[in-house]
Structure 1
Amino acid sequence: MNSRRAWLVFGIGVFAYLVAVTQRSTFGVAGVEATQRFATTAAALSTVAVVQTAVYGLLQVPVGVLLDRFGSRRILAIGAALMALGQLVVAFSPVVGVAVVGRVLVGCGDAFTFLSVIRLLPGWFTPRLLPQLLQWVGMLGSLGQIVSALPFALLLRETSWQVAFLSAVALSVLSTVLVLLLVRPGEPLPLTTPIPVGGRPAILRSALARPGTQLGFWAHMMLGALPNLLGVLWGYPFLTQAIGLPIGLAAAVMGLFVAASVVGGPTIGWIVARFPMRRSNLVLGVGALSYGFLALLLLWPGIPPLWFVMLAFLGIGVAGPGSMVGLDFARTFNPSHAGGSASGIANSGGFIGAFVGMFAIGLLLDARAGHDAPVAVLYSYDAFRVAFLAPFGVALVALVGLLVARRRTRARMFLEDGIIIAPFWVALFRRVRGGRRRPNRGGDGGMPSQPVR
């Protein structure tokens, strides 16, 4: 555990995820060029990204089951190879329908990647390190947005569609080779509860029925949908067309998502490790921050100044590392043999929310501007001001689901472990007064170092 080989495996896994994030967001960077190349509408363009994200979200649960059965190395290599094939199809697609096929393959490969990396780590590192490492995977992987927003965007502008997407193919080929050569499974995880009779379907049903898994799903949807729909598709057209930023400056603003991960990821990881009983309060706080900045961005009279756009994207970007708390819920509220299945269920939340939001934004843009409107009208700031109401609908659904799942989770904790949950304001009042925190009082359950029974 925690050996040099473990850190090498961690590095290769992070690189594979970085490449996956790059592939995920390349089509969003090429959104304006794709509109012109395929002579298509915003709704049709959003369909490409929606299908890709929908495939990602719908495959999370099957991928989790496959990980529990076959392990991370093979699934990670298959994912990288699928993304290379998908980008190859996009590079030579003559019509938008062929591009959809390519992005479906990219979505499939992307779906295989993140969960594989997360499932790989417990075999190489001690449990105390895992919440922080989970955040570091997300933080370092988010550098892929910079790769797509700057080098890829410049290649696309200075060379051609084929050259830019073939460079993305090369990245995934390299990732496949490194995984096959250097990644090995770590120590097998000990069973924390007996495996249920009925095999993998029974494990999946059991994980899905746990309120803690559902809590992870809704937490990931609330915080994961907004940065994903901006990073995958609509952030770049918003900055370049609605705000009027040049490519380099738009790339820098998109890079603030990475800066938010660099600052927010380790901080959130530390808070989760230090206060595991208050994770849902952390999710609600980060959600209020991110959606609050989006609301201010839309309510600004006229086109907002650059400094506020940068501040808003930084605040919205904190939702990315915040969404990782959903996976921590899934991990700690499930036995070791169901870790992949539970993580897949939780991780699907943000991407299901993202593809619903992305498609709704495309429909609202077309409805606001009309199907035959030029790009300047279609992607105007006033049009985005209406279209960006869609993420608030997703967040409202997620909030209701989270509150219901949290109530059921706390009730189950009391029945199984006798843990009584104090409201946050009561716990805060006790801490302010300097009272000692009782070990069985708190918030959302099991310590990250071991699953809750």
Structure 2
Amino acid sequence: MSGASSAGVPQVHSDPPGGPRAVAVWGLGVTVYFVAITYRTSLGVAALDASERFDINASALSTFSILQLLVYAGMQIPVGLLVDRLGTKKVLTLGVVLFTAGQFGFALSESYVAALACRALLGCGDAMTFISVLRLGSRWFPAKRGPIIAQVAGLIGMAGNLVTTLVLARVLGTFGWTPTFAGSAMGGVLILVLVAVFLKDHPKGHVPPPAPQSGSGYVRRQIQQAWREPGTRLGMWVHFTTQFPGMVFLLLWGMPFLVEGHGLSRATAGELLTLVVLSNMCVGLVYGQVIARHHAARAPLALGTVAATAGVWAAVLLWPGHAPMWLLVTLCAVLGACGPASMIGFDFARPANPPQRQGTASGIVNMGGFTASMTTLLAVGVLLDLTGGNFRVAFACIFLLEALGIWQILRLRPRAHRRERERVVASRVEAVHVPV
């Protein structure tokens, strides 16, 4: 199908063809996400150093990540609206500027308040990356590639976490705080130049439909219409329930839990955090292929991941004394599945919303996991202070959020499935009646 622009140039609204150019442009967008993940998780390997640098307790330490995620979660719907309205390139460019400034400012911060402000700025820029990358993929690749494209984006993003655990941790130990964080910020400067020169919103001949009129009415309609879809709400709760156990572990509390809670060395703890990342990358490839071929596997994979996560956490927390290494390895391997499972949430929201509402719907979904992560980060920090560092009690809060999420998934799943089936039937009927 094709239409005409105001200039009389044909505009094609059919599926884009993909191909090498699509891979190159999309790969640049994913590289932005890779850098953002590196900055986002950099505090995870520097948590103990941050405690000493700013002379803060567990609650104050968790505030770094809580504020970062609070800004991130709060920005999701506004970012989704911006992507739908302005396109990918403008939003990604602004995101790179913000998270690079935040990382560089964090390197120079000497006070706790200044460091908090920089993490908030970093979170604001980080919030603009993933939704933009999802939108970029939908503009450059056919819709049937959506699940695998989203999982590969998450996989490459997790490679940024791998850089954090393997490289940044060692550089920090060798060169210290300021050179490490300031040096990493130079990656943001480089990617900003590449985005400005090479990134394109869509392939030639596949110009998207004109954006609707802006204003408060447009914003309200976009949010309301996306939220009314059961698939959007189901996607949000899938993201909420699956993502946060792995996110909390990697973002802040994994290193203290392994070092202070189980007596491991920093080097061994870093290797276990690396295992979480490697597991994430492997599971992401598997989940993407399975969902692309068997759409009905979405909910079983998500619920199975939640069950496995709850089971292994229960075993670790109930083990008398320090958990054995084999159990900690199992924990980290299972936590690696949390990220890929959270991506399934977008696969529920994507078919429930038209292309012009994809950014808004993705923003709503993405709020889920980061809201859960923010809540858990706060709860763990407060419980550690109240109990004198009892990790068993602190991490038990995970089960409460998982129970809430499972209830919502089971409640919304039949509605979303029914609505999705209705859309498929309607599209088939429409296709039959389209004149040739």
CA contact (8 A) 2:237 2:409 kept: yes
Q: CA deviation at 1:226?
A: 1.1
State the partner residue of 1:391: 398
CA contact (8 A) 1:195 1:203 kept: no
Equivalent position to 1:15, from 18, 22, 31 = 31
State the partner residue of 2:222: 203
Alignment of 1:405 with 2:421, yes or no, is no
CA contact (8 A) 1:146 1:251 kept: no
CA contact (8 A) 2:352 2:420 kept: no
Alignment of 1:214 with 2:221, yes or no, is no
State the partner residue of 1:345: 364
The residue identity in structure 1 corresponding to 2:177 is W
Q: How many residues align?
A: 408
More displaced, 319-328 or 6-15?
Answer: 6-15
State the partner residue of 1:355: 374
State the partner residue of 2:433: none
Equivalent position to 1:112, from 125, 128, 138 = 128
Q: CA deviation at 1:38?
A: 1.0
Q: What is the correspondence of 1:26-425 to structure 2 with a 5 Å cutoff? A: 26-187=42-203, 188=206, 198-369=217-388, 378=389, 383-413=390-420
CA contact (8 A) 1:63 1:344 kept: yes
CA contact (8 A) 2:162 2:278 kept: no
CA contact (8 A) 2:40 2:123 kept: yes
Residues 330 and 22 of structure 1: CA distance in aligned 2, closer, same or farther (over 3 Å): same
The residue identity in structure 1 corresponding to 2:416 is T
CA contact (8 A) 1:79 1:109 kept: yes
1:304 aligned counterpart, secondary structure: coil
CA contact (8 A) 1:122 1:189 kept: no
The residue identity in structure 2 corresponding to 1:264 is V
Q: CA deviation at 1:205?
A: 1.2
The residue identity in structure 2 corresponding to 1:164 is T
CA contact (8 A) 1:51 1:100 kept: yes
Residues 125 and 386 of structure 1: CA distance in aligned 2, closer, same or farther (over 3 Å): same
Task: Give me the whole-angstrom Cα distance separating, in 2, the residues matched to 1:268 and 1:146.
Answer: 20
Cα deviation digits, residues 97-145 of structure 1 (max 9, x gap) = 1111000011001100111111101111112222111111111110111
Q: CA deviation at 1:406?
A: 1.4
Residues 416 and 333 of structure 1: CA distance in aligned 2, closer, same or farther (over 3 Å): closer
Cα deviation digits, residues 23-59 of structure 1 (max 9, x gap) = 1111121111111111111001101110101111111
Cα deviation digits, residues 135-173 of structure 1 (max 9, x gap) = 111111101112112221112211121111102211211
Task: Give me the whole-angstrom Cα distance separating, in 2, the residues matched to 1:412 and 1:209.
Answer: 11
1:303 aligned counterpart, secondary structure: coil
CA contact (8 A) 1:53 1:352 kept: yes
CA contact (8 A) 1:189 1:336 kept: no
CA contact (8 A) 1:59 1:108 kept: yes
Residues 345 and 285 of structure 1: CA distance in aligned 2, closer, same or farther (over 3 Å): same
Residues 413 and 22 of structure 1: CA distance in aligned 2, closer, same or farther (over 3 Å): closer
2:129 aligned counterpart, secondary structure: helix
1:255 aligned counterpart, secondary structure: helix
What is the percentage of aligned positions where both structures have the same residue? Answer: 36
Q: CA deviation at 1:297?
A: 1.4
Q: CA deviation at 1:307?
A: 2.4
Gaps of 5+ in 2: 1-16, 429-436
State the partner residue of 2:4: none
Task: Give me the whole-angstrom Cα distance separating, in 2, the residues matched to 1:178 and 1:246.
Answer: 39
2:264 aligned counterpart, secondary structure: coil
Q: CA deviation at 1:94?
A: 1.7
Q: CA deviation at 1:199?
A: 2.5
Q: CA deviation at 1:275?
A: 1.7
Q: CA deviation at 1:189?
A: 6.7
Task: Give me the whole-angstrom Cα distance separating, in 2, the residues matched to 1:21 and 1:51.
Answer: 16
Task: Give me the whole-angstrom Cα distance separating, in 2, the residues matched to 1:206 and 1:167.
Answer: 44
Cα deviation digits, residues 166-224 of structure 1 (max 9, x gap) = 02211211221221122111144766xx9999423212210011111000000000011
Task: Give me the whole-angstrom Cα distance separating, in 1, the residues matched to 2:250 and 2:228.
Answer: 31
Q: CA deviation at 1:415?
A: 6.2
CA contact (8 A) 2:351 2:420 kept: no
1:245 aligned counterpart, secondary structure: coil
Residues 265 and 195 of structure 1: CA distance in aligned 2, closer, same or farther (over 3 Å): farther
User: Cα RMSD between the aligned structures?
Assistant: 2.2
1:112 aligned counterpart, secondary structure: coil
The residue identity in structure 2 corresponding to 1:15 is T
CA contact (8 A) 1:218 1:402 kept: yes
Equivalent position to 1:4, from 1, 20, 24 = 20
State the partner residue of 2:7: none
State the partner residue of 2:434: none
Per the normalisation by structure 2, the TM-score is: 0.89
Task: Give me the whole-angstrom Cα distance separating, in 2, the residues matched to 1:196 and 1:33.
Answer: 46
Q: CA deviation at 1:411?
A: 4.4
Residues 189 and 248 of structure 1: CA distance in aligned 2, closer, same or farther (over 3 Å): farther
1:242 aligned counterpart, secondary structure: coil
